[in-house]
Every structure is written in C-alpha cells, then in structure tokens.
Structure 1
Amino acid sequence: MFETGSLYERFKLVSNINPELLNRGILHSKLIRSKMAVDSAKEAIACWEKAVQKERDGSMNDAIKFYREALKTHEDVEKLYRNKLLEEYSLHEGLGKLQLKQSGSEEKFDHDNKERCMDPCWLLNILPNDILARIVHFVVLQSGESWLQLSLTCSTFNHLCFHETDPYRTFAHLIYPKQCYDQTSLSLNGVSNLQVLEDNLWGNNYPQMLKKRPYVKFEGLYISVVNYLRYGANENGSRSWINPIHMITYYRYFRFYPDGRCLRLLTTDEPSLVVSHFSIDTPPKNSELCHWSLGFDHGFGHLTITRSSSKYRFVEELQIKDQGFRIHQRLKWLSSIIVDKEGEVTECSMKKEKPFFFSRVRSYVSAS
C-alpha cells in the first residue's frame, strides 16, 4: 500500500508540471546534443586532417593512429572531410567567378560596353631581344626555378628561355663545374681533360647534355622515407591468438655541397623538424659528415658517398635517375658496404631501403 501510494504521488507530481517548461527542457536537451554533435564532427575533421598531413610526410604509423582516433570520434568523418573539401573548392570557384564578373562589369562601366584589348607590354616593345636575352641570362644564373618562372610570363620570354641555346649553355656552365668527379675514375678511363670529353660527347648540344648527363642538386635535400612492418609478441599471460604488428617509419637525409662534402642523417624525425636547421654549420644530433663523388658508370650518374670512423669505412653507392618528367630527381640504391681495418667487406641489406627524392628548399638556394 505504501509503494502504491508512493508511485501515485510521483505521477501526480509529474502531471502537475507546466507543459511549457517541459517543452523548454526537451528543446534545451536537443540543443545540447546538437552542439555536442557539431563539436564532435569538428574534432574528428581536425584529427583526420592531421592524419592526412602525416601520410603526406610518410609517417604512416602516426597517420593510422590519427585516422583511428578520428573514426572513434565520428564514424562518418571521411564523408564530412570530403564534404568540407568540396565546400571549400566550391567557395573558391565561386569567388573566382565573382571577381571575373566584377571586373567585367567595371570594364563595361568604364568603357561604355566596348570591348577593351589588353595593353601590350611596353618593356618588350622598347627593349631589343639582345637586352631581353641578357635578362634571361642573369635570371638563369639565379636558379633553375627562376628560369622556369620567367618563361611562363609571356610568349616572348618563353621563346628566349627555351628556344635559344644561350640559357642552356649558361645553366650547364653553372651546375657542371660544381660537380665533384672521382679522380681515380677519370684516370682509369684515360680522361685528363673533362672539357674535351664533354665536347666529344655533346658538342654544343647543351639541351641534350642537361637531359642525359646527371648532376647532383644543391638547392635542397634528398629524402628517403622507409616504412616497414615488424611483428611483435604478446605479453606474458595474454590469451590473444593475434600478435601485435608495429609499423616502423624512419627517414634518411642527404644534403650535398659543391666542395665535395655531404651531410647525412638517419632519424625518425619528420622533414618539418629537420629541414630548417639541416646544415654543416648547424649539424643536427647524430648527423654524419661524408664525402661524395661522381663516377662514369651509369652515364655519369654513379654517386659514391663515403664516411669513416675509428674502426670502419662506410661506402654507399647510388644512381642518379629521373622521376617522371623531373630529370635527375631521384637517387636509387645500388649498394652499401662496410670495410674494416683488415679490409674485410660486409654488405648491408637493401631489402627495406627506399630511393631518395629531391625536395627543393628556398633557404638553401643562396647557400649553394
């Protein structure tokens, strides 16, 4: 009887609540849930973007961790991320069309709906081609990137940059004297004057020389990203039948200097943590100073990097190769050996190693 009365009293108390207050409470709870869902979506998208950046850097282990965290936060995070990219692209495209419409309306207003042709470049009309060619010459001396950017400005500069011999000759005379060739290899091949060999092989065909004759680049870093799986073991007392799997990621860095020196680093640090201070003047921790030289094998593209310690001498051999349309952009492993004091040679396994790819760094241009 007491329990029945208690339930009755509770029902009576609830039935006396103002319906308006009850609706407000329900609405407030819905708003709270909606806000929590929005915050959860934002957090998941931010985590997904971190994962994408880690994947671009080659840190697959961290990328997987952030992907999992994002999926735990919101199961449809990939769809939300794609929608965000689509909205940003649509907004950017819409702004571009709006600017075109505004410029078109202003032009019509200023010129009474008459079509207006673009004014020709007065500089190209005033200066003769000889002066423009000298401009191209000094731009090429700055960097290859400046050469390319100048060629994209107009058809006149494009013709002067890529349809004349002088820019190619200037660039060849800029980069090839900085290459360090192995003197032993020169002697074995009976080459006493490298200039004579160049004339015999390519003559004045400098575009063909730049395309076929590899060279080491100094305006950036060569980076190799290595990912591999390592199988672990379960803890003592674990009943799991599945062994854990670890994804290992590490990076190799090479920075070459025209004087024959090379800075080498093997680390787990990502490029964003290494590039800014990777220099002989400020060498990172655990970096090693090496020496490099080019040989005649593989069409002048045989690169040898050596370093020594108190007990061993390390010799790494690579080949300069193209990466698609980017010439001399990649370093392919050939071998890596260790020579002790007695002359005994030990070959290192190349099974897990990956090729190096050149990445240009603006702050290195002036130093090279």
Structure 2
Amino acid sequence: MADENADIEGTVEDEDESSDDPDLQLELNVFRAQWMSELKPSSGASGTSNRLLQAKSLRKAQEIAREEKATELFLRAVQEEQNGAVYEAIKFYRMAMQLVPDIEFKINYSRPPDADRGGGNYMEDSDVDGEIEDLLAYFEQQLSVEGSFPKICTPEVEMTQVHISALPREILMYIFRWVVSSDLDMRALEQLSLVCRGFYICARDPEIWRLACLRVWGRKCTKLVPFTSWREMFLQRPRVRFDGVYISKTSYIRQGEESLDGFYRAWHHVEYYRYLRFFPDGHVIMLTTPEEPLSVVPRLRTRNTRMDSVLLGHFRLSQETGNQTKVFAVVCKKKDEKATDFQRNRFCRRNPAPEAEHSFHVGLALSSGGHQSFSKLVWIHHSCHITYKLTGETVITTFDLDRMYTPFFFARVKSYTAFSEQPL
C-alpha cells in the first residue's frame, strides 16, 4: 500500500513537472524520435545519402577552417619577413605549408584581411596600384595647394649647393628622358618615381609614355583605344622586351661511329643555344652556338658584336584579329667590310664576289610564361632564302618545326640598360 502510494505520488510529481515545463517535454519527445530513427536500420538510400551529405559538409568546413588558419600564418610570415625577422618568418611559413601546401597560390592579395589578423599591415598598401590615377591627382592637388609656384620636390636637409628642385620642369623631364634612354628602360623610370611625389608625377607624364609606345609600335599606336592611357598601353599591349635576351636551349643524343673492333658504339649528348636580342629601333641579333649564356650574353649588348657567326636583321610585330601577336624577323650574316674594300681593288682577283646571298626568315608567336609578361616565343616558321646574283632567282627552303625547335624564354640582363647613350 505504501509502495502504491509512492508510485502514485511519483506519478503525480512527474505530471506536475511535465505540466510546469511543456517545452522540456517537447524537446524530450523530439530527442526520443531522433534516437529511435538512428537505432533503426536505414531503409533505402535516403539515410545513406543524408549521412554522406553531413560528412561532406563537415569535411568542407574543416578544410575552410584549415585554409583560413594557413592564410593567417602565411600573412604573419610575410609581415615578419618584411620586418627583418627571417627565422620567425620561416617558422610561420612552415606552419602554414604544413596545413595547406599550396597556400601561396590560394591567397587573394587584392582583398585585405581583417585588422585583428596577422599580416594586416602587409595588405594595407595592396590597393595603391588599383587607384593609381587617384593617387596622381592627389599629389598634383597637394602641389597646387602649397603655392602659386610649387616645387617638384623639396630638400630634406639644408644644402649649400643648388638642389634639383630649383630646375625648371622642362629640364627635369629632359633628365627623365635620359633615364629612359633610347633603350626604353621603363623599369628605371618606375624606380625613379619612388623617390618623392614630384618625381612620381614626372614619371607619369603622358608624353614620355607616348614616345615609348611610338618607339615600339610606330604608326600602329596613334589611338589609345581600348586603353585609357599611354602607360597602360605600354604595360599591357603585347610586345617584345629589350632589357634582356631570349634564350632557347636544345639538346639531343646523336649516335657516333662504331669502334674498329665492333665492340661498342659511342653516343654523343649534344647541347646548343639560340639567342635572340631585340633593339627598340627594329634591329635584331640571332646567334646559334654551343657556348653557355654566361659567356655569350655580355657580348650581345650592342649590334656591333665581333662574333663571326652572328646574324643581323630587322623584325616587326604583327597583331592579328585573334589577339595573337607574332614576331617576324629576317636575318642574314653580317657583311665583312674589310673583305669588301679588298675586292674593290681591280688588280686583285683572289676573292671573287659571292654568287648567292643567304637570308633566314623567322616567325615566332609571343606569349607570357610564368610570372613575367611577354617572356616566351614559340616557333611558327623558319625558312632559308637563297638569292643568286647572276640570275636574280630566289630559292626558298622551309624547315620542319620538330622537337629541335624549342621555345625561347626571356632573361633580363641588367648591363643592357646600365648606360644611356641618348635620350628617348
């Protein structure tokens, strides 16, 4: 009887508790239903598909969290490297790459991270290039506010000699044209613009960039469309580069002669290089030699090279409707002036004039390779033209472009633009 009363009292207490908290009872019923559904064997593909979707969403969330952590560590490493803490930077680089091996290529540098994350200072200046025109207008406005006769720049310390800011702007622009020089060293112009805001304004002068475009494309760049400025045209329109040399390396294995006893046959590993050096005035140098670039590149700085096997000629750019830029060049062996003077002597018959002239026609497709723009040239045509002087007949031999015609890749040479011979 006492047990029954206890049960009745417990039941009454449960009912009172459930009636006092109906939300708790509802949650309890939902939990029981979910628990029973999980205990039952899955009927059909619906249960399996739901579990797969849950696992996939969980895996995706983990990957996103891992990538965000790796991005934070990588930007922190960049900031430490800029501050000079190389060992700390290596530690954060290693931690980031352990999480995501290719995190370097997944970071969006155009989007600044949150201010509380590491690497925030590194990304604050990433939008400067995107607002280049606004920055130029801001500098010009600052100079105009300073006075009716503003100076391009002001000396940081007091000087007894005449400062460069005392020169008229026309003289400064002439100096800037010497910096660019006839070799179109626009890289030096960009470095000069980092000195001060006045030099930045002078380096963005449209006349300098217009002259550079005219030097490259000639009469084909009379209009800016579709570009907004001459500088944008020079930086984005496909062109060959003049501050270095294009190099192509070819290697193959050639079978040698058999030994006298017939016991073995030698095999030779052959390597040779092709060099292409373009000049802003339309000239080009082509050289095929087994010598390494370290010994050949310094001798290609000017057209007046003393190498006998070099080919000299002209080139032109051709941009077709498919936005594919091609380079066509005609090169031939340079004429020996001493031999020509020697042949003018009527009493000398030892060196008769050559009966034929050889010239080589080269066609290349311009493209961008790696991180550099306009740094790759792919073969599309190569032929030899033999012109007989007696009859005027020309015989054309076209070569097959096989695996021996490897593409050219650009290599910048600092010594090519180290000296200025004449202004732009």
Give TM-score, length-normalised by structure 2. Answer: 0.45
- Following TM superposition, by how much is the alpha carbon of 1:268 offset from its aligned partner in structure 2, in angstroms? 0.9
SS at match of 1:272: helix
1:176 aligns with 2:175: no
1:1-368 equivalences in 2 (<5 Å)? 128=143, 131=152, 138=176, 141=180, 143-147=185-189, 149=191, 167=204, 169=206, 172-179=209-216, 194-196=220-222, 198-202=223-227, 204-206=228-230, 208-240=232-264, 243-278=265-300, 279-297=302-320, 299=323, 301-308=325-332, 310-341=356-387, 342-351=393-402, 352-365=404-417, 366=420
Q: 1:170 to 1:325 in 2, by over 3 A?
A: farther
1:61 aligned residue: none
Gaps of 5+ in 2: 1-80, 89-138, 145-150, 154-168, 334-355, 388-392
Identity %: 26
- Confirm or deny: 8 A CA contact 1:220 1:360 kept in the other structure: yes
Amino acid corresponding to residue 152 of structure 2 in structure 1:
I
- Following TM superposition, by how much is the alpha carbon of 1:255 offset from its aligned partner in structure 2, in angstroms? 1.8
- Following TM superposition, by how much is the alpha carbon of 1:152 offset from its aligned partner in structure 2, in angstroms? 7.6
Amino acid corresponding to residue 259 of structure 1 in structure 2:
D
Amino acid corresponding to residue 210 of structure 2 in structure 1:
H
Distance 1:311 1:301 in 2: 30
CA deviation profile, 1:138-167 (whole Å, cap 9, x unmatched)? 4984733335556788xx87xx97xx9973
Q: 1:306 to 1:255 in 2, by over 3 A?
A: same
SS at match of 1:179: helix
Q: 1:165 to 1:364 in 2, by over 3 A?
A: closer
SS at match of 1:215: coil
Q: 1:205 to 1:232 in 2, by over 3 A?
A: same
SS at match of 1:311: strand
- Following TM superposition, by how much is the alpha carbon of 1:276 offset from its aligned partner in structure 2, in angstroms? 2.0
Aligned-residue Cα RMSD (Å) equals 4.0
Q: 1:367 to 1:271 in 2, by over 3 A?
A: farther
Distance 1:257 1:364 in 2: 10
- Confirm or deny: 8 A CA contact 2:362 2:383 kept in the other structure: yes
Amino acid corresponding to residue 216 of structure 2 in structure 1:
Q
Amino acid corresponding to residue 358 of structure 1 in structure 2:
F
Distance 1:358 1:334 in 2: 18
CA deviation profile, 1:26-66 (whole Å, cap 9, x unmatched)? xxxxxxxxxxxxxxxxxxxxxxxxxxxxxxxxxxxxxxxxx
Distance 1:289 1:277 in 2: 14
- Following TM superposition, by how much is the alpha carbon of 1:267 offset from its aligned partner in structure 2, in angstroms? 0.8
Q: Report which of the two has the higher share of helix.
A: 1
Q: 229-238 or 287-296, which moves further after superposition?
A: 229-238
Distance 1:247 1:176 in 2: 44
- Confirm or deny: 8 A CA contact 1:221 1:360 kept in the other structure: yes
- Confirm or deny: 8 A CA contact 1:313 1:338 kept in the other structure: yes
Q: 169-178 or 209-218, which moves further after superposition?
A: 169-178
- Following TM superposition, by how much is the alpha carbon of 1:211 offset from its aligned partner in structure 2, in angstroms? 4.8
- Confirm or deny: 8 A CA contact 2:317 2:326 kept in the other structure: yes
- Confirm or deny: 8 A CA contact 2:272 2:290 kept in the other structure: yes
Q: 1:237 to 1:340 in 2, by over 3 A?
A: same
SS at match of 2:382: strand
- Following TM superposition, by how much is the alpha carbon of 1:288 offset from its aligned partner in structure 2, in angstroms? 1.8
Q: 1:207 to 1:276 in 2, by over 3 A?
A: closer
**Length, aligned pairs only:** 227
CA deviation profile, 1:180-230 (whole Å, cap 9, x unmatched)? 66xxxxxxxxxxx5344x33333x245653454222222222221112222
- Following TM superposition, by how much is the alpha carbon of 1:327 offset from its aligned partner in structure 2, in angstroms? 0.9
- Confirm or deny: 8 A CA contact 1:315 1:336 kept in the other structure: yes
1:67 aligned residue: none
- Confirm or deny: 8 A CA contact 1:224 1:253 kept in the other structure: yes
Distance 1:345 1:206 in 2: 41
Q: 1:165 to 1:152 in 2, by over 3 A?
A: closer
2:110 aligned residue: none
- Following TM superposition, by how much is the alpha carbon of 1:275 offset from its aligned partner in structure 2, in angstroms? 1.9
Amino acid corresponding to residue 146 of structure 1 in structure 2:
A
Amino acid corresponding to residue 248 of structure 2 in structure 1:
S
- Between structure 1 and structure 2, the one with the greater Rg is 2
- Following TM superposition, by how much is the alpha carbon of 1:316 offset from its aligned partner in structure 2, in angstroms? 0.4
Amino acid corresponding to residue 318 of structure 1 in structure 2:
L
- Confirm or deny: 8 A CA contact 1:316 1:337 kept in the other structure: yes
Q: 219-228 or 306-315, which moves further after superposition?
A: 306-315
Q: 1:314 to 1:99 in 2, by over 3 A?
A: closer
Distance 1:235 1:178 in 2: 58
Amino acid corresponding to residue 131 of structure 1 in structure 2:
I
